Structure 1
């Protein structure tokens, strides 16, 4: 079985945040999976595919407005994964790469000639890498798994370049999407997808998330808010800074709180948009309560998350949200909007608070989290073990392998 993972951006393009990291983690786990001895019986029945499992990544040199410092149109090994980086002609958010499409065409034609079981797994939608790669696979009658990663919702269709998206969807997109086997990362994303398209099949498998086995030390525990109200309540937002994250809503809610707090904002985004947020914070008299850290290294974010009382994500749309798992893995409770894919998981396991997309609802949940020190301490003690169990790399990798083999077996 040959799996070609196609993504417009791959690490070290960390500027794109969680989706890029999840794709890389999936590829690394699949690359090492066949060497493990823990395969489920359902998967082991398909050994005829797995014995010759090969994995390749086709991506571009995309790194925001710039390009990665890699040799274009070449292949290199990145953390055990064979990755081919192809130059692109257009920048964000189209990523048009003729070299990638030409090489994909050659690989598919050769696979057909050799009668090799092959699957194309495409990550994200609404860019020319994804849409045209899907068209190439459709032309060759090669099965496609599509992970939209939040790109197939009514919100994303109307939020940016909506006219172009609707035009592409009507001309070619809908037909291609109906050809795909779709992978959703949460039940919410599955629901959103099925309101727009009718795929061949759809399955829910959570993201693989890079976790750091971080244990909170006594010294760190002392820095975490307790019943001593002289210590400011420590709130953190850690994500890519863009309109859909609901930071304006969060700022408005913070402006009506009656307790002392510090908000740390970690992440990068459009400079003009970030400046507009800073202006809003000044008007709301929040400027001296907000610390802007910019992009944080992956190795540092777990320590940063562990030093805060609560992680807040009031997004208008979020198919999964890796940062939720990252925060809980170090014991920091979360406040999420009800439009975040992991909201149900947090509710079912009592790992935080869920808010509506309303200023007073967000403020109310911030007040509850501040007051309920007992619940926050319980989450700090118990969340990590639950996260490492529920989001185990090997178990999740088996689910992806089963998805691929089920498709090849018809």
Structure 2
């Protein structure tokens, strides 16, 4: 089976969903599927320095990059228009048995679905949380118009819609889309244990050996709820802790967050690391005591999964789709989306560090048994196999 994955960007700055596509394709190839990626050279405000218009190996998977239109106007640049990608898709899409399209409301994904419809090539679509209630409320009128004119038809013509959590699936239900859907979560590779990670991280940050570290590791964006987490931490200034913010985002938003830290008296106990990856990221995850993501909305929460796999408990809010799992398996703490409630959950973890550690140990074991990429690839192959049995498109109104 030959499967083409389409996504606007695989750049690390685009966060977990983009990285998940690379890892999923790697696992599919290891399982015997002929899979590759077509994308743009988007890298946030910049462009990736990669070969253009030919199949290359990128992070151990075959990827074709196409030029992204890069005007100075941010909203147009973010749409990731690519004429080269359009031409290539039109000429080559029929060579594939199936397209797996990631993202909606973005040019590469929209044009891929449209061309697949016109050439009667089957495709499935993973909306990356864009059909969740919070996401649809952002730029509401623009998205409603986009849905009405283009994207609803693209979604309805898909063989299936791929959600990564039951919560994401449920939030999309009011749209009454006609395509069937399935849930297959993200996976991850369980990181190797770093010896003395706690001690090494505290030495790196020049902290006492017994200093609790609370970690936020994610893209810096308004939906991530730092405007709730930071005020919550300010209610706990009687406690010893260090707050680490690992991630990058829009320069104006980063400045806003730094001002918020100062306004709440946390400047002397907050470290900004910027974007991290590799061993530095693993050290942060394994050396911290608590992971916090108090997000408005997460259709999955890759960073949460990474933290749990590293063996630290997570404090999250109900908008994070992994909340039910965290509650049911007792892997951390789920606080209502409220400053006081978030502060109370953090206090609970700080007051009972041994109990928090036990939740973290339980989390690592649970994730390693249920969320490896080999397991996820096996589930996707089952879906692909079933889709091959579905007859060719019939028209949908």
Query: Could you state the TM-score of these two structures normalised by the residue count of structure 2?
Result: 0.91
1:105 to 80, 90, 94: 90
2:169 to 183, 187, 190: 190
Tell me which residue corresponds to 2:97.
118
Using the TM superposition, give the Cα deviation of residue 308 of structure 1 relative to its aligned residue in structure 2, in angstroms.
1.1
Aligned partners of 1:21 and 1:209 also within 8 Å: no
Any stretches of 5+ residues in structure 1 without a counterpart? 35-52, 112-116
Using the TM superposition, give the Cα deviation of residue 218 of structure 1 relative to its aligned residue in structure 2, in angstroms.
8.3
When residues 63 and 384 of structure 1 are mapped into structure 2, their CA distance, relative to the original with a 3 A threshold, is: same
Q: How does 1:345-356 map to 2 (within 5 A)?
A: 345-356=325-336
Tell me which residue corresponds to 1:45.
none
1:33 to 31, 34, 47: 31
1:114-146, CA deviations, whole angstroms, 9 ceiling, x for partnerless residues?
A: xxx611111111111111111111111222111
Do structure 1's residue 294 and structure 2's residue 274 form an aligned pair?
yes
What is the rounded CA distance, in whole Å, between the counterparts of 2:329 and 2:250 in structure 1?
35
Using the TM superposition, give the Cα deviation of residue 173 of structure 1 relative to its aligned residue in structure 2, in angstroms.
1.3
When residues 230 and 5 of structure 1 are mapped into structure 2, their CA distance, relative to the original with a 3 A threshold, is: closer
Do structure 1's residue 307 and structure 2's residue 305 form an aligned pair?
no
Aligned partners of 2:218 and 2:247 also within 8 Å: yes
Using the TM superposition, give the Cα deviation of residue 221 of structure 1 relative to its aligned residue in structure 2, in angstroms.
9.9
Task: Let me know the Cα RMSD of the aligned residues.
Answer: 2.0
Using the TM superposition, give the Cα deviation of residue 88 of structure 1 relative to its aligned residue in structure 2, in angstroms.
1.4
Using the TM superposition, give the Cα deviation of residue 96 of structure 1 relative to its aligned residue in structure 2, in angstroms.
0.6
What is the rounded CA distance, in whole Å, between the counterparts of 1:92 and 1:372 in structure 2?
47
1:138-167, CA deviations, whole angstroms, 9 ceiling, x for partnerless residues?
A: 1112221111111111211222x3322111
Using the TM superposition, give the Cα deviation of residue 351 of structure 1 relative to its aligned residue in structure 2, in angstroms.
0.6
2:16 to 15, 18, 23: 18
Q: How does 1:178-257 map to 2 (within 5 A)?
A: 178-180=156-158, 181-214=160-193, 217=196, 220=199, 231-257=210-236
Using the TM superposition, give the Cα deviation of residue 234 of structure 1 relative to its aligned residue in structure 2, in angstroms.
1.3
Do structure 1's residue 268 and structure 2's residue 248 form an aligned pair?
yes
Aligned partners of 2:128 and 2:299 also within 8 Å: yes
What is the rounded CA distance, in whole Å, between the counterparts of 2:116 and 2:346 in structure 1?
48
What is the rounded CA distance, in whole Å, between the counterparts of 1:173 and 1:222 in structure 2?
46
- How many residue pairs get aligned? The number is 379
Question: The residue matched to 1:104 in structure 2 has which SS?
Answer: helix
What is the rounded CA distance, in whole Å, between the counterparts of 2:189 and 2:119 in structure 1?
34
What is the rounded CA distance, in whole Å, between the counterparts of 2:227 and 2:83 in structure 1?
39
Query: Could you state the TM-score of these two structures normalised by the residue count of structure 1?
Result: 0.88
